[in-house]
Structures are given as C-alpha cells and as structure tokens.
Copies of this chain bind each other. A is one copy, B any other.
Amino acid sequence: MSNLKLASERVWMQSHRPIMGMSTLKKIFHTAFDYKTEKYVIAENIKVGILYRVIQLCIIGYVGWVFITNKSYQAVEESIQSSVVTKVKGVVSINSSDTGFRLWGPEDYVIPPHGGPNLFITTNFIETPNQKLDICAESFKVLDGRCGDNDDCPRGEAVTAGHGIKTGRCLMKKDRNYTGTCEIHGWCPVERSQKSNVPQLGKAENFTIYIKNFIRFPNFSFSKSNVYETQDRSYLPTCTYDELVHPYCPIFRLGDIIRKTGHRFQDMAQAGGAIGILINWNCNLDTGLSQCHPKYSFIRLDLNTTVNSTTTFNFRYARYYKNATGHDYRTLYKVYGIRLDIMVHGKAGEFSIIPTLVKIGSGIALLGAGTFLCDLVLLYIMKNRDEYRKRKYESIKDDCPRNDTSTQTETQEEIHLNCNNSPV
C-alpha cells in the first residue's frame, strides 16, 4: 500500500514535466490515437451472470423481433397519391300504373355522373311531376305544418323544414274536424311524404361497378394500378371480383358489396345508406412488385355505433321545363340510394439506413438498461455486495482525511489529493 502511495505521489510531482518537455501538438496527436476502453470488473457470480444474459437475450430478442416484424428498417411513406375512376353499368325498367314505362340508366341513377370516387346510386325515389309555383297545402308531415281551428299558421320563410313560404292561412281538411295544414306559396303540389316500401330500383342489386384505382408513392417513384394487366381483351368485360379467384378484377356487383358489409341489399335500397369501399395498399418495396396488392374492404358508414337507429340517405333534385307560354314547371325527385365512398389508403416501405440506425441505436441503449438492473442486484442484493461495490468503485478523495494514519479504515480504494502532509 505504501508503495502504491509513493508511486502515486511521484507521479503527481512529475506529471507535468514530460508534457512540457515534448511538443504539446505531438502529445495531442499521440493521445488522439490511443484507444480508450472501459475497464470492467468481472463478477464471477453465476446468478447475476445468468440474470444478465437472460435480460440481454430478452432485450435483443424482443428488439430484434420487433425490428423484423414491424419492418423498422424501412422508411415508410404514407402520403399516397391516388386516382379513382368509377363506372356503373346496368339498366332497370319501372312499369307503374302512375307513370307508365320508365327506364333508368347510369346517366339517371348515378349522381354525379362523372365517374369520381364518391358516387350515389339511386335505388328508390319519390317522383313529384308537374310542380308549378302556386298556392297549396303544406305536407301534413312537415314540422309546424299542421294547424288547428285557431288558424295559427306562421308566415314567412321555412327555415329548417317545409316546402314553401307560409302564407299564414290554415287549410282545414274536410275529413279531419280540428286539424288542417298551413297554406304555402311554393311548388305545388307538394311532395308526398311516403316512399315506396319496396325499392323501385331493387334490381340495382345486379348493377356492376368498375373501380379503377391508380396509386403512386411519390418519394419512392412507385406506381401501380388495381386492374389486371392482361393482353386478353375479353377478361375485363366478363370478370367479377372475387377475393380468391379474381383478386385483380376490379368489377364489383353492387349486391355483393352490400352483402360484404353484413347488411341486406333490399333493406338498404329502400331507405338508403352510405358504404365505404376501402382500398388498402400495403407495399413492401424491398421484395418487388409482387408484395404490393390492393386489399378491398367494405364497411357501412352511416350506422350509429351504440343506438341502432334507422338511418337513411336521400336528397332531392329537380328537372326544370318550360311550357309553351314560358312558365316554369318541374319534376321533383327525392332519391334514396346507396352512397359509395371509395377511400384509398396505403403505405409503402423500403429499406432505409436512417430508421435502421435510429432503431439500432435505441436497441443498444436499451441493453444499458439491463446492465443497470444487474448492477442493482449485484451491488444491493447479493451477499457480497459490499465487496463488489468496493471493487467496482474506486474512490478518489478530493480532500485530506482528518486523521491521516497509516491504519486508516477504508471502504474503498482511496486516493487522497491535496494533502499538505506528505503521504506515508
């Protein structure tokens, strides 16, 4: 011990000489290429050793597993550029006693007609032909439409409901003694409120929808389409999408789409509803084109999640005509139907060095957490913890011990600096 102290003191006294003696630059250059490596204490303690290896294996295993399964080594692009073109085919005839023979083609039932990703297919409708601007009775079903003996109709614009401007008069119905409907100035006669219980375009179940989706990941300059690329010109006009048999045939039967959402077509067709057609592209560009397929899923969009209320999807449009005298008349359509929202999502991943390094760096850092844990066990729980602590930590005291005797008690290897009295 005294030898060590002596050597240490000699070092302290002489330590600055060689630095001053040799060129500082040379010294710096020399030490710059010394390799510094942590000094380790090996605790040949099988318990902590096994604990450490187990922790190490768990961390490496978990991080590695996550690394592989989550493809953490890939740069991911989620900002997909997508273009959707749709085309609906099918013709339906309606032969009612009211209106005679009618034909509905795509130019009528697809709204808007221009083949975009959001389209509405009419499946049921209320037609009110030959409306003229006139004075007539409001619909009985409209809020504030009914009135009683005291002629309590409001006057003016109908803000939230109603078919025209209320004149303030109450029209009594002969068959009801005490209730009537308010008179309005508007398009008369007003629309009847009752839609058909059977969807008038029920055969829309057999309509086919062609969905062409072109996607592009701009950062990776990668683009693909969901349409089967074949030289066989008869393939597309005749195929129908089937997840297993024809996954690349982009032609869907409307009835199949509804069925896949778990609903009945005829129910939806009567009151209308909204369907989401989700096209998901999950592309792994490291493994070539073959790993980039469109995956379709179909969900109903307009159901309340908790209350199972009846929903409906409808809107109105009118066709305007002029008679020989130049006066307007119109046919009003209230259409019920199926709204299709084609939503495209996707991501593409390709190996990239940056996320890889970030993930590896984090993994290495996590291994440090294992060391920390084992240190705790070794230094605070093991039987020989004090001895381990003494060996692991080497103390340098900054100030002189008060009683500097050679028989001093030490808990750790200690070096005392700044002592006026020379060490023994």
Output the least CB separation between A374 and chain B (Å). 6
Copies in the complex: 3
Assembled-state Cα–Cα distance A93/B317 (Å):
18
Segment with Cβ contacts to B, from A7-15, A146-154, A168-176, A260-268: A7-15
**A66, B354: Cβ atoms under 8 Å?**
yes
For A12, the chain B residues whose CB sits under 8 A away are 386-387, 390
**B103, A42: Cβ atoms under 8 Å?**
no
Please list 10 pairs of residues, one from A and one from B, whose beta carbons are closer than 8 Å in the complex, sorted by A's number.
A15-B410, A16-B386, A18-B409, A39-B41, A39-B392, A44-B398, A93-B185, A358-B359, A361-B362, A368-B368
A195 beta carbon closer than 8 Å to chain B? no
**A276, B39: Cβ atoms under 8 Å?**
no
Assembled-state Cα–Cα distance A146/B170 (Å):
57
Across the interface, A225 reaches (CB within 8 A) one of B237, B280, B305, namely B305
Known contacts A157-B93, A187-B103, A203-B157; A393/B36 CB under 8 A: yes
Known contacts A66-B354, A339-B85; A37/B378 CB under 8 A: yes
Known contacts A115-B315, A160-B89, A395-B42; A306/B229 CB under 8 A: yes
Across the interface, A35 reaches (CB within 8 A) one of B11, B48, B133, B386, namely B48
**A32, B53: Cβ atoms under 8 Å?**
yes
Across the interface, A305 reaches (CB within 8 A) one of B87, B108, B224, B392, namely B224
Across the interface, A37 reaches (CB within 8 A) one of B7, B41, B366, namely B41
**B33, A46: Cβ atoms under 8 Å?**
yes
Output the least CB separation between A62 and chain B (Å). 8
For A361, the chain B residues whose CB sits under 8 A away are 361-366, 369
